[in-house]
Amino acid sequence: MYQLKPLEWHKHQDIEGVYAAPENLKWRYSIIVHKNGKVEFALLDQYFEYASGFPQFYSSILDAQEKAVEHYVTLLESFIL
């Protein structure tokens, strides 16, 4: 059995939202709350450009964080399995 290091969420400095940038991983997870209330979840590459299929929109930061964790776990499992 293996144990995964959880995502560590940090507040964006200039905008409302959070991000996680796992060490040694080319992806960064970004969640931003727009002025209209939409919650944007984005998977960003090392150049801060959207990955294919992103951004996605959710009803809350928590929902977006859950999707980020699902992606993170799937990504890490692909390295292990």
Identify whether 58 is part of a domain: yes
Give me the pLDDT at residue 13, please. 85
User: For the segment 57-74, what is each residue's pLDDT rounded down to a tens digit?
Assistant: 999 999 999 999 999 988
Contacts of residue 50, defined as CB under 8 A and 6 or more positions apart, other chains included, come to 42, 43, 44
pLDDT digits (tens, 9 = 90+) for 19-59: 999 888 888 999 999 999 999 999 999 899 999 999 999 99
Q: Identify whether 1 is part of a domain.
A: no
How many domains is the chain partitioned into structurally?
1
Q: Classify residue 37 as left (phi > 0), alpha (psi -120 to 50) or beta.
A: left
- Which residues lie across from 25 on neighbouring strands? none
**For residue 60, is it within any domain?**
yes
Q: What pLDDT score does 2 carry?
A: 61
**66: Cα within 13 Å, side-chain hemisphere:** 7
Q: Is residue 4 part of a domain?
A: no
Question: What is residue 79's predicted lDDT score, i.e. its pLDDT?
Answer: 76
Q: Which residue has the tokens 């290091």?
A: 5
pLDDT tier at 1 (50, 70, 90 boundaries)? Answer: low
